[in-house]
Amino acid sequence: MASPTKIIAEYAKSNRSTCKKCSNSISVNTLRLGLHSKDPRGYDVTKWHHLNCFPSDSLQPVTHGSADNIQGFSSLKSSDQEALEKLTANCDLESKQGSDQVEKEVEEGNVEKSSKKSKVDKVDEHEEEGEQKKVKVVAEYAKSNRSSCKQCTKAIPSKTLRLGLVSRDRGFDMTKWHHLRCLSTVPLQVDSVDEIDGFTSLKSNHQEALKKLLNGEPLPVAVLKEDEAALDELQSKSKTSKPSIKIITEYAKSSRSSCKKCTEAIPAKSLRLGSISKERGHDVTRWYHPACFPTDLQPSSVDEIDGFSSLEIVDQEALKKVMDGSDQLLKEVRKADEFMLNEGKERSSKKLKVTE
């Protein structure tokens, strides 16, 4: 990890920042110290601290015993400037005492302690790198029923609370949504609810639930029951509701289409019925002979069939009787389709002989 390039002193602009040492929020308009560095990817990273929480081992290498080297020092109040000068002077004294102690230990042959100290420093560096890879947490109300929980894989009902873990993958933000109750089993890398995007726009009961979640306390039963009721309602609707299917009719443009029920070809210029359904975001059309059309897909009225008005009068009447379930007409329709199919086969056979 690259060494810090500078230290920043300023007054907190809001209550959203938290101290990286004690994890408590830094109140607005209070003095805060920022450790500014570059992460391995070249991005600027600032870690804010309370004045008394700022690590002394990070202060001395940058200030060299002088508070004037701190960015923003001149714009502070005189009392805060004096506090910073005292802090840097103490750090400089501690650094000199530490150096003398290290020399003494080396002279005495106590190299083991120095080795342990270097290992601890490496662990601290890895911990700081881990902080830079923190996953961002967002909270909002689901805009639709399409999102699903990455933990339990069940749907997240519309207008219910969902929590997202946002991570950076190949330069893009990837959000994994969760139910509130499912996120309680996932370790969160946030120290305060102020670090959760969208927290202030939530209802008060959901804000309290999130606070309990971060504190490791049991979630409110009322909130959990509310989410469970919404999920049960969504699942019951999905079981009872039929998929949206559009019915169309037309004259076959060629003999290439085949009936999805009897698998026989549908002759060119003969009447055919089609069902259009949405599958994986695309329209899928399945063609049938009128006599083969599934009864469970039949509309309540022929007026609901797209293209019905463009048919010839005789075919309109035939289609009405097919929809009414007339057995006599079904036989007639089958015979007409068979005749046109056989006629098409004969034409193809003659065409083949001429070619030979």
Question: Which of 234, 299, 288, 236 has the alpha carbon at shortest distance from 261?
Answer: 288
Gap between the Cα atoms of 314 and 318, Å rounded: 6
User: 136-240: which CATH topology?
Assistant: first zn-finger domain of poly(adp-ribose) polymerase-1 (3.30.1740)
Q: Give the CB-side neighbour count of residue 149, counting CA atoms within 13 A.
A: 23
Give the pLDDT of residue 163: 93
Spatial CB neighbours of 109, under 8 Å, sequence gap ≥ 6: none
Give the pLDDT of residue 256: 92
Gap between the Cα atoms of 337 and 268, Å rounded: 10
Spatial CB neighbours of 302, under 8 Å, sequence gap ≥ 6: 308, 316, 319, 320, 323
Residues 47, 20 contacting (CB under 8 angstroms): yes
- List the chain domain ranges: 6-132, 136-240, 245-355
Helix axis angle for 221-240 and 204-214, nearest 10°, is 110
Q: Say whether domain 245-355 belongs to CATH 3.30.360.10.
A: no
Dihedrals phi, psi of 321, to nearest 5 degrees:
-70, -35
Q: In a structure prediction context, what are the per-residue pLDDT tens digits for the chain, which is 356 residues long?
A: 445 568 888 999 888 889 988 989 899 999 998 888 887 777 888 889 898 888 877 776 666 767 788 888 888 898 888 888 888 777 655 555 555 554 555 555 555 555 555 555 544 444 444 444 568 899 999 999 889 999 888 899 999 999 999 988 888 888 999 999 898 888 777 888 888 999 999 999 999 999 998 888 899 999 999 989 998 888 887 666 556 789 999 999 999 999 999 999 999 999 999 999 988 788 999 999 988 888 888 888 888 899 999 999 988 988 888 777 654 444 455 555 555 556 655 554 544 444 44
Helix (H) or strand (E) holding 299: none
User: Can you give the pTM of this predicted structure?
Assistant: 0.36
Question: Which of 94, 99, 102, 21 has the alpha carbon at shortest distance from 56?
Answer: 94
Spatial CB neighbours of 9, under 8 Å, sequence gap ≥ 6: 31, 32, 33, 34, 70, 71, 72, 73, 76, 80, 84
Give the pLDDT of residue 352: 41
Cα 319 to Cα 25, 211, 254, 297: the distances in Å are: 73, 64, 20, 14
* DSSP-derived 3-state class of residue 74: helix
Gap between the Cα atoms of 155 and 301, Å rounded: 35
Give the pLDDT of residue 243: 60
DSSP calls for 83-115: HHHHHHHHHHHHHHHHHHHHHHHHHTT-HHHHH
Spatial CB neighbours of 263, under 8 Å, sequence gap ≥ 6: none
Residue 350 falls in which region: left (phi positive, over 0), alpha (psi -120 to 50) or beta: alpha
Do 245-355 and 136-240 have the same topology in CATH? Answer: yes
Cα 92 to Cα 66, 87, 298, 305: the distances in Å are: 9, 9, 87, 86
Gap between the Cα atoms of 84 and 76, Å rounded: 10
Give the pLDDT of residue 327: 46
Gap between the Cα atoms of 247 and 303, Å rounded: 10
Give the pLDDT of residue 203: 93
User: 6-132: which CATH topology?
Assistant: first zn-finger domain of poly(adp-ribose) polymerase-1 (3.30.1740)
Residues 226, 150 contacting (CB under 8 angstroms): no
Spatial CB neighbours of 125, under 8 Å, sequence gap ≥ 6: 1
| Token pair 């504190």: residue | 215
Residues 36, 49 contacting (CB under 8 angstroms): no
DSSP calls for 227-240: HHHHHHHHHHHHHH
